[in-house]
Structure 1
Amino acid sequence: MRESKMLPVPDGLAGLRVDAGLSKLLGLSRTVTAQLAEAGEVRQDGVVVGKSARLLPGSWLDVLLPEPQRDLAAEPPREVEGMDILYSDDDVICVDKPVGVAAHPTLGWEGPTVTSGLAAAGFWISTSGPPERKGIVQRLDVGTSGVMIVAASERAYTQLKRAFRNREVTKTYHALVQGHPDPSTGTIDAPIGRHHSAGWRFAVREDGKHAVTHYETLEAHRQASLLRVRLETGRTHQIRVHFEAFHHPLCGDPMYGSDPELNALLGLNRQWLHAVSLGFTHPSGQWMTVESPYPEDLDRALTRLREANGG
């Protein structure tokens, strides 16, 4: 149950925007208070007010508080269907992450996670890192499948975090994109930041963070091309954003401009993007490469594309 709270507007906050004043009054982030106001859950003297309205001296606020935050660190073990172990030892665990699974628990995500699945399978994970992200040294988007590494030991956590930070890990993906990139092999070097009108999306922006994607065409069909993609950097949604900006969005990715008719033809319900291999230096000093095969839905879509093109 969500709690309602009534409180007077202090003299010192009169004149502030509703979102800014509520943030100070309630100790919540400004983003959260703005969302409450936009949802009609803030009243001033009985009248619903928006986030940019001003707090009036002597007035009373009636606020419907957000749901209490759950303890992310207390995530219970949960078996994750389709999550296979590609390699494991006392230092590292390499999993084959299915689509629809998050790397670790986050607020707003109630679905399965890699960490809960490993706990259910009896694996020990490093205790290093934030409580809700113990052992996590990299992440894959919920909508992206493929190989992902988790640190099992403390030394592995330290060494792998450093390796990812210093770009000493080889991350290779396969992506099915619309059309035919020109040139067929190349590099996209374009900064990425949050989309100006949708905070849950990202876009190429001059004020964004440095992002570099290398690609090579493996198969070219009439409607789409299969690419091998290597990330030099690791920005959120990097591959999806770069290829949308390059006018070749990933098949099955309506968030970033895919063609719904082609998605239907291929039977895709998510972006065609798979982490096929991960190369890293094991804490023992040995270089390792772990590979993940295509999952059934992506393999089926690629087969349909080949058959439609006489392959």
Structure 2
Amino acid sequence: MDAFISDQAEDLTRSQIQKFIKDGNILVNDQAVSKAGFKVKTGDKIVVNVPEEEPIKAIPENIPLDVVYEDQDVIVVNKPQGMVVHPAAGHPDKTLVNAILYHCQINDDDVIRPGIVHRIDKDTSGLLMIAKNNLAKQSLMKQLKDKSNLREYLAIVHGNFEEKTGKITAPLGRSKVDRKKQAVVEDGRHAVTHFTVLEQFDGYSLLKLKLETGRTHQIRVHMQYIGHPVAGDPLYGPKHTLPGKGQFLHAETLGFEHPRTHEWMEFSIEPPKIFQETLAQLRH
């Protein structure tokens, strides 16, 4: 039952459907189904009653925050691995936004993603810029659209390279096979990733990657696409990989024009301890 509905209703996740079943919100031939393993048959009349979602609103929470830079317009933070950027279904609190709202005032009408102009994945660490007002938000978003800002990442990936540099141009969109994943698809959005090989080890390589565009899971999907998935990636990488809690991907460098002064601002941050320790082990 849960697999069948998941295939038919693309806007529902498997876990949502299983909760609907548990709560008696899925009927087969006017009878509530109690098990996700219920076998559907040709001719069954299936009704899914989708309950109204409780509105999500970000509230301030006293969570430690690693602030790299801050002024009246922008704040740059070093997001730890394992932290979600903003509240969403399944992650209503304990996000970076909750921490930001406790730390300072954000003048933004968006109650879920106040100040957020770009994101990095939960298990990706590193630098993120947040707008503290509308002037900053419009400026930073325009720079992202115009590709005039700088975003560079470090990644440990599987395999070795013959070339020292490369450019991956491949359109990205939702996977036709697994809706939780992104994939290279013909009708996807234009996406470009540049990479430089910094070091090579036995079966792994350390890369610097520069985003020309910023699509969901872009680096992770592009690296899988060329046969060098990011080590530790639970979605796009192999099961047998380096020990850790998520992909070895770190947003190392961030650069942008200041929204008010128009001065070029550039920041770099070292990768987290587990990343550095893993590199040391690979080198030896």
TM-score (norm 2): 0.85
Matched, 1:42 2:22: no
Contact 2:56 2:92 in 1 (8 A): no
Q: How big is each residue's C-alpha offset from its partner over 1:9-67, in whole Å with a ceiling of 9 and x where there is no partner?
A: xxxxxxxxx97xxxxxxxxx8734996499642232327598997686xxxx876654x
Q: How big is each residue's C-alpha offset from its partner over 1:218-241, in whole Å with a ceiling of 9 and x where there is no partner?
A: 111122111110000111111010
Please point out which of 103, 108, 116 is paired with 1:127. Answer: 108
Matched, 1:187 2:170: no
Q: Percent same amino acid among aligned pairs?
A: 35
Corresponding residue of 1:112:
94
The amino acid across from 2:70 in the alignment is S
Deviation at 1:294, TM superposition (A): 1.0
Q: How big is each residue's C-alpha offset from its partner over 1:76-112, in whole Å with a ceiling of 9 and x where there is no partner?
A: 212334x300000001000100112122111222452
Gaps of at least 5 residues in structure 1 are: 1-17, 20-28
- Larger proportion of helix: 1
Change (3 A) 1:105 1:50: farther
Corresponding residue of 2:267:
290
Corresponding residue of 1:72:
56
Report 1:98-247 matches (<5 A).
Answer: 98-121=80-103, 123-128=104-109, 130-247=110-227
The amino acid across from 2:267 in the alignment is V
Matched, 1:273 2:249: yes
More displaced 10-residue stretch of structure 1: 32-41 or 170-179: 32-41
Contact 2:28 2:44 in 1 (8 A): no
Larger Rg computed on CA atoms: 1
The amino acid across from 2:250 in the alignment is H
Contact 1:217 1:228 in 2 (8 A): yes
Report 1:6-85 matches (<5 A).
Answer: 31-32=11-12, 36=17, 40=21, 41-46=26-31, 48=33, 65-66=50-51, 68-73=52-57, 75-81=58-64, 83-85=65-67
More displaced 10-residue stretch of structure 1: 46-55 or 105-114: 46-55
Contact 1:194 1:203 in 2 (8 A): yes
Separation in 2 of the partners of 1:197 and 1:173? 28
TM-score (norm 1): 0.78
Gaps of at least 5 residues in structure 2 are: none
Change (3 A) 1:51 1:213: farther
Q: How big is each residue's C-alpha offset from its partner over 1:141-191, in whole Å with a ceiling of 9 and x where there is no partner?
A: 111110000001221111111111111111000011111134220101111
